Amino acid sequence: MRLFYPATPQGKLGEVKVGYAPALVALARQNKENAAASSILLLGHDTTELEMLAIGQPVAGKWLSQATVDSSVAGTSVITIAGTANYDFLVPAAEMRRVVVPIATNVQTEGSVMGVNRKFGLYPAVAFKTVGAAVVGSILTAQF
């Protein structure tokens, strides 16, 4: 079993504190105002979870491989392709959601000095945008 995601907060008696923010400081934070076009967020080398808050409109997110990030069409090909929805997760409007970064590749690395995200082959980036016709939504993101 791989134990590289942050632990869930627990009470004095060991009970799991469901829905609580992690008991640690965010590695990075971003505020994207009026996110009508898809944006790419590069994840830090130690990022294993995201906390996203959708303000005003729902948010759609899509995990991106390094090859997609490196391509010149990354910004236009995510979230919608030829008018068809192409997303991996949704955050409802006016809600906060914790998202675990999934494994993208099976990396067999021993003893290398790098962050846990790269060591275990997690996705290095995520694209996101607000969903809907109005351009009034914002996205607050914290990396853990």
pLDDT at 20 over 60: yes
Q: b vs e for 83-112, b when ≥16 Cβ sit within 10 Å of the residue's Cβ? A: eeeebbbebeeeeeebbebeebeeeeeeee
Evaluate whether 127 touches 37 at the Cβ level (below 8 Å). Answer: no
Dig out the tokens for 7 from the structure: 């632990």
Q: What are 104-122's pLDDT values in tens digits?
A: 887 665 655 578 888 888 9
Positive or negative, the Cα torsion across 70, 75, 80, 83? negative
pLDDT at 28 over 60: yes
Task: Report the alpha-carbon distance of residue 70 to residue 88 in Å, rounded.
Answer: 20
By the 10 Å C-beta count (0-12 exposed, 13-18 middle, 19+ buried), 73 is classed as exposed
pTM of the model: 0.78
Annotated domain spans of the chain: 28-143
- 1: confidence class by pLDDT, cuts 50, 70, 90: very low
Evaluate whether 58 touches 130 at the Cβ level (below 8 Å). Answer: yes
The class of domain 28-143 in CATH terms is: mainly beta
pLDDT at 80 over 70: no
| Top-confidence range, 18-22, 25-29, 69-73 | 25-29
CA 91 distance to own-chain centroid: 11
Beta bridge partners of 49: 100
Task: Report the alpha-carbon distance of residue 49 to residue 27 in Å, rounded.
Answer: 10
Question: Per-residue pLDDT averaged across 15-22, rounded?
Answer: 78
